[in-house]
């Protein structure tokens, strides 16, 4: 059948809220779940969809995680040659 919903054991173990379709609840744009510092994107957040949406959300969640780290005072050192995109 393909992807139906994320594994519930993961959501339960982390204490993540899920929606009525059992996808991990996380707001579009910041991708923050109900647990501080835990993010979700792609099929586990929106449900089965096109790969282009997962790619788009992957980029978006990467930006959201970087902003979160910077707000928390975490400044990983990454050289320009290590950056993608």
Task: Break the chain into its structural domains and give their ranges.
Answer: 8-75
Distance of alpha carbon 66 from alpha carbon 44, whole angstroms = 20
pLDDT for 85 equals 54
Contacts for 65 with CB less than 8 Å, ≥ 6 apart: 31, 39
Q: Is the pLDDT of residue 5 over 80?
A: no
8-75 maps to which CATH number?
A: 3.50.50.60
What average pLDDT does the segment 4-23 reach? Answer: 88
What average pLDDT does the segment 8-16 reach? Answer: 92
Contacts for 6 with CB less than 8 Å, ≥ 6 apart: 18, 22, 23, 24, 43, 44
Nearest to 63 by CA among 84, 77, 81: 84
pLDDT tens, position by position, 26-71: 988 899 999 999 999 988 898 888 888 888 999 999 999 989 998 9
């Amino acid at each position: 059948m393909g992807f139906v919903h994320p594994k519930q054991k993961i959501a339960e173990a982390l204490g993540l809220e899920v929606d009525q379709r059992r996808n991990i609840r996380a707001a579009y744009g910041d991708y923050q779940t109900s647990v501080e510092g835990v993010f979700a994107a792609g099929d586990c957040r929106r449900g089965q969809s096109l790969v282009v949406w997962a790619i788009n959300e992957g980029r978006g969640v990467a930006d959201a995680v970087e902003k979160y780290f910077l707000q928390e005072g975490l400044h990983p050192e990454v050289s320009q040659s290590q950056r993608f995109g």
